[in-house]
Amino acid sequence: MTKLHRSEAGTQGARRIARAQMSAAVHALGHRPLSDKDVHSARKSLKKARAMVRLLRASIGDRTYRRENALLRDIARPLSEVRDAKVLLQTLDRLSRRSRALGAPLPLGELRRMLRRERTAIQRKRLRGSRPFADQLEALREARRRASRWRVGRKGWSILGTGLARVYGQARRALCRAEAEQTAETLHEWRKQTKYLWHQLQVLEPMGAPVRCLAHTAHDIADTLGEDHDLWVLRARIAVHVSTRADRRRLLSLIDRRSSQLRAQALALAGQLYADPAPAFEAHLRPLWRAWRHGLHARAARGQVRSWSASKAGSSPRSWSDGRGR
């Protein structure tokens, strides 16, 4: 993902990145013939653009934020159908490999054929024709034009830190709800907010290795919860499309065991990222921003947040020098 540059104001850099992600989505959706890969690339770019809109919220104002966030969400919505059809097959393949590794291969042929038929039908519906996603492309181009006129000023951490803290706080509250009630909905919401946080931390990675460590942890949590969500979607299909009770029970049991493992992994990682309330999280990162903006040596920046970053990254400060600390 594109990063901020020290030579530009933080708010202007975030706007540049938002527009670049919109352009990347336009480019992906403009390919002919359109493929699953193009749609997946566009979806990722739209999520990154939405993360930047959140980062700039204090600058562009609530009205602009709500309009642009809702528009980008609505553009991405019909793309999800294509993604889900492909991911369900990939999830089924992972489940099949896991069952074979456990020495208890499962009869998945009928379910796989059904999912393939569904995917083919969705591809015909969404990807064929002379102008697939034409309305979404036009809306996205217009959003990109509006973004060039966002009044972001020449601000830095006063805006970006506020946006980061807001998303971190939302993700932390989503984590608390997911811990209290581990449902597909609460876990999915935690995953969404964590992905926004990850994308924001990505653009801030030039601030130093501690931020890269936090970004890596957020990515790991989002990926782990993503696999769990895909299993939940597949679970609903199995309940409907696997007719033999014994086979259905075996499949659901395997999914439930894997989901329990994934959720435990995500919650363990959460302790590295979400231990502090949002104001403390923002305050810990502020010195890194100032050091980076003033071109201070990375060692001096690390010294200001040494104990905090080491505990959050789960590694010693020595490992920050090459970004490997996780």
Give the Cα separation of 184 and 188 in Å (integer): 6
- What stretch of H or E contains 212? helix 209-241
pLDDT per residue as tens digits for the range 280-291: 999 999 999 999
pLDDT per residue as tens digits for the range 109-162: 888 999 999 999 999 989 988 789 999 999 999 999 999 999 999 999 999 999
- Which one, of 326, 322, 324, 290, lies nearest residue 305 by Cα? 290
pLDDT of 222 > 70? The answer is: yes
Which position has the higher pLDDT, 260 or 250?
Answer: 260
The one-character DSSP state at 129 is: S
- The mean pLDDT of 42-47, rounded to a whole number, is 98
Residue 78: CB atoms within 10 Å: 15
In this prediction, residue 134 carries a pLDDT of 95
Give the Cα separation of 117 and 217 in Å (integer): 37
Residue 153: CB atoms within 10 Å: 14
Residue 12: CB atoms within 10 Å: 19
- CA 267 remoteness from chain centre: 17
Domain ranges within the chain, ordered by starting residue: 156-326
pLDDT per residue as tens digits for the range 159-198: 999 999 999 999 999 999 999 999 999 999 999 999 999 9
In this prediction, residue 243 carries a pLDDT of 75
Q: What's the mean per-residue pLDDT of the chain?
A: 89
